[in-house]
Amino acid sequence: MKFERVHQVRLHEQIIARFNEMAEAGHLQAGDRLPPERELLAQLGVSRQVLREALTVMEAQGMLSTTPGGGRVFRGRAAADVGAFVEALKESALFEILDAREAIEGKIAELAAREATDEEIAALQARVRGLEANGYTYEGNYRFHLAIAEAAHNDVLHSFLQLVLEARREVQEQDYLTLEQMKRTFDDHAAIVEAIASRDPARAREVMEGHIAHTRAEFHQRQLERAKERRGNLAPA
For the stretch 123-161, pLDDT in tens is 999 999 998 888 888 888 999 999 999 999 999 999 999
Q: Residue 161: what residue type?
A: L
Distance CA 35, CA 118 (A): 54
Q: Is 228 helix (H, G, I), strand (E, B) or coil?
A: helix
Q: Are the CB atoms for 195 and 109 separated by under 8 Å?
A: yes
Q: What is the pLDDT of residue 4?
A: 56
Domains and CATH numbers, the chain: 11-80 (1.10.10.10), 93-223 (1.20.120.530)
pTM of the model: 0.61
Please write the tens of the pLDDT for every residue from 173-218: 566 677 888 889 999 999 999 999 999 999 999 999 999 999 888 8
